Structure formats: structure tokens, C-alpha cells
């Protein structure tokens, strides 16, 4: 009887631990965002695009574009090829899919708008490259090379000290 009770206790504790520890991160991720184009081009920011940064989360990789102004238009979507603003030259990107990020804000003085490596994304799950595709007539384009065509979402959030953060999250899986 003691052995049976001990075995049942062990089984119940194991089940409880699995419940506490949870399921793998990919199963717990709610990333049903779709992969269709998001945003509209409608207004230009009063201030320039100042900075790009990236981050890694358990369910997605994140690109943050910081703009000094607010109320600007943006367009984010998968394309066959990202091209430079003004010249139309193709921007080579690593990865199986390409996201084009258009922000209706001119690049700030000193922002490397044509840099092939705007951020270091080595070791990221989904991101393969972040490249500048130039700034022309108050519009800046960024190319984001990703592992595959995966769901993504776009958010705009206020920035500390004024301005706006355009946030693009690309899921690790479907």
C-alpha cells in the first residue's frame, strides 16, 4: 500500500511540475498575426528617423525604428526584392524572405541610411540582416532579411522624451 501511495504521489507531483514549468515556448506563443502587408502611407513625421535597434524574445525577433516625430505613415510587407529609395537599386539581403519597412520620415543627419548592416542580428532565431535602403524625399526604407515568410505584427508606441517607436515583431514559427 505504501509503494502504491508513493508511486501515485510521485505521478501527481510530476504532473504538477509539468503544469508549473509549462509547455515549450513555441507552443505557448500567440503569434497568429498573419503575413500580409500592414500600415499605410499617409503623413510625414515632423522629426527624423534617428535610430534602429533589435531585440530577441522567446517567440519573436523585434526591430524598433525610433522617430523623433509622430503621426507618420509606414508600410511593412513581404516583397520579392527591397530596392533603394531614389535609385531603385536592389538591396541584397540574407534570408529566405524579405520584409520592406517604409517609414515616412527622413533619416537624421548621421543615420547610416544605406548601411548593409544597420544592426547586428547574428544568432537571432528569425532575423538574418537589417539593411538601410536609403532615405529620399522624407521617406526612409529599411530591408529586413528573415529566415522565412513568417507572421509579423507592427505596433507604434510612444518614445521616452517624445517621438514614436515603430515596432516590428517577426514570429519564430507559424
Give the pLDDT band (50/70/90) at residue 66: very high
Cα 92 to Cα 172: distance, rounded to the nearest angstrom:
22
Among 139, 75, 143, 152, residue whose Cα is nearest residue 104: 139
Give the pLDDT band (50/70/90) at residue 3: low
Partnered with residue 52 across adjacent β-strands are 65
**Each residue's pLDDT tens digit, 79-115:** 999 999 999 999 999 999 999 999 999 999 999 999 9
Give the pLDDT band (50/70/90) at residue 16: very low
Cα separations in angstroms, 42 against 8, 80, 83: 64, 24, 20
Question: What is the pTM (predicted TM-score) of this model?
Answer: 0.84
What does the radius of gyration of the chain's CA atoms come to, in whole angstroms? 21
pLDDT (0 to 100) of residue 154: 98
Cα separations in angstroms, 61 against 14, 16, 92, 173: 33, 31, 20, 11
Backbone angles phi, psi at 6, to 5 degrees: -65, -40
Fold topology of 30-171: Immunoglobulin-like (2.60.40)
Helix (H, G, I), strand (E, B) or coil at 13: helix
Q: What is the DSSP string of 78-104?
A: EES--B-TTT--B----SSEEEEEEES
In this model, does residue 27 exceed pLDDT 80? Answer: no
Amino acid at each position: 500500500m505504501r509503494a502504491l501511495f508513493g508511486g501515485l504521489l510521485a505521478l501527481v507531483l510530476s504532473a504538477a511540475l509539468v503544469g508549473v514549468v509549462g509547455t515549450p515556448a513555441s507552443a505557448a506563443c500567440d503569434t497568429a498575426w498573419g503575413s500580409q502587408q500592414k500600415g499605410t502611407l499617409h503623413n510625414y513625421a515632423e522629426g527624423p528617423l534617428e535610430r534602429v535597434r533589435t531585440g530577441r524574445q522567446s517567440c519573436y525577433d523585434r526591430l524598433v525604428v525610433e522617430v523623433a516625430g509622430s503621426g507618420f505613415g509606414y508600410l511593412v510587407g513581404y516583397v520579392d526584392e527591397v530596392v533603394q529609395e531614389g535609385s531603385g537599386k536592389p538591396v541584397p539581403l540574407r534570408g529566405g524572405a524579405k520584409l520592406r519597412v517604409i517609414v515616412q520620415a527622413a533619416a537624421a543627419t548621421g543615420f547610416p541610411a544605406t548601411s548593409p548592416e544597420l544592426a547586428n542580428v547574428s544568432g537571432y532565431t528569425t532575423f538574418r540582416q537589417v539593411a538601410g535602403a536609403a532615405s529620399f524625399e522624407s521617406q526612409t526604407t529599411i530591408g529586413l532579411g528573415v529566415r522565412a515568410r513568417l507572421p509579423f505584427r507592427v505596433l507604434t508606441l510612444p518614445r521616452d522624451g517624445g517621438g514614436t517607436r515603430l515596432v516590428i515583431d517577426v514570429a519564430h514559427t507559424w
